[in-house]
Structure 1
Amino acid sequence: MQVHTVSLEDFSCADYHILGIHSALEDYQLAYLLNSFLRVHFKRCENDIDLKTKTSESFFPLYEFTDDYNDNVWYLISNVYKTNSKDPFNGLFAESETRSYLIPEKKKVDYFLKIEGEFTENKIENIKGVIHQIPGVITSYNIDTNTLKSKEFLIF
């Protein structure tokens, strides 16, 4: 009897690039500005990326743009989920903010831009150049997926 092994690589697109974006903008603001500057059409997905652990539950906004003409799919994913909790026994400091990260090893990255499809390095550099022109964006850069321990959260 033959045994087949399935790995994470079987479910992921081999041709994709991930850009990390640093920005204080809200996710909907960044999606709007990316639509304007890159001439794409990001739309909020019906379902967020849900991450459940034993102690908490986090929801990361997900935006998608499908370019049928060039056979590409773009995703904008928030890396940060903020929750406010209230402790009535702490008086003045009754409210505290808790942050969860989709990719914990990249805590300084606010958003990930995952682009599936065939792109030349020159095209990726052009996309980063346009992103740098967006007001409110601090920087963007390529992320090597081989260095990510939690890259399975970016497979969808």
Structure 2
Amino acid sequence: MKLKLDVAEMAEEFFQDAHLLGIVAPIRDYQFCWYLNQLFRFRFRANNDIEIQMTKKSRSYYFPIYEYAEPNQFLVHYLYKNHHDGEYLLPEFRHLDFLWLIKGDNVQAAFIAEMISSIRTINGVQLVVELTNEKIRNKEHLIF
């Protein structure tokens, strides 16, 4: 008997309380985190425990994830690097350098709009857009 993991249901549950921003910023991930930390007074840190590993064409690709949990709230920010060595975490969004997942407490649209506006002020940022769940074909790639 073979058991099959229902990834679609898992993805729906994972993204139930989440917002995803796509960012075009051709700068190094640690440098981008530094800018975000300065701008928002966050403390993004690389979390190697949730780093995403994908194997394609018998090669392994590693996508770092930076994490910041807001104190005294149930709100966590995850910053994913969308590409590594020619492969993409979300191939349908090849043009995006970073994916910012905001997960937890119910987040108001005004808060997201304010964040997008603030991110756009960072030197090197060319585009910031909110991605809707329907547009993301490979949601399971973001689940850690």
TM-score where L is the length of structure 2:
0.88
Q: Is the 8 A contact 2:11 2:140 kept in 1?
A: no
CA distance in 1, matches of 2:12, 2:121: 36
CA distance in 2, matches of 1:126, 1:115: 13
Q: Deviations over 1:22-57 (max 9, x none)?
A: 011100000110011112110011242111124321
Name the SS for the 2:36 alignment partner. Answer: helix
Name the SS for the 1:116 alignment partner. Answer: strand
Aligned-residue Cα RMSD (Å) equals 1.6
Measured after TM superposition, the shift of residue 135 of structure 1 is 0.7
Change (3 A) 1:9 1:151: closer
Q: Deviations over 1:90-127 (max 9, x none)?
A: xxxxxxxxx00000010000000000022110000000
**Corresponding position of 2:32:** 30
CA distance in 2, matches of 1:13, 1:142: 14
The correspondence of residues 35-74 of structure 1 with structure 2, limited to 5 A, is 35-47=37-49, 48-74=51-77
Amino acid at match of 1:116: K
The correspondence of residues 1-156 of structure 1 with structure 2, limited to 5 A, is 7-9=9-11, 11-47=13-49, 48-82=51-85, 99-117=86-104, 118-156=106-144
Residue segments in structure 2 that go unaligned for 5+ positions in a row:
none
CA distance in 1, matches of 2:109, 2:12: 24
Measured after TM superposition, the shift of residue 68 of structure 1 is 3.3
**Corresponding position of 1:89:** none
Give me the identity figure in percent: 29
Residue segments in structure 1 that go unaligned for 5+ positions in a row:
83-98
Q: Greater share of strand residues, 1 or 2?
A: 1
CA distance in 2, matches of 1:16, 1:10: 10
Q: Is the 8 A contact 1:11 1:155 kept in 2?
A: no
Q: Flag the structure with larger Rg.
A: 1
Name the SS for the 1:142 alignment partner. Answer: strand
Name the SS for the 1:69 alignment partner. Answer: coil
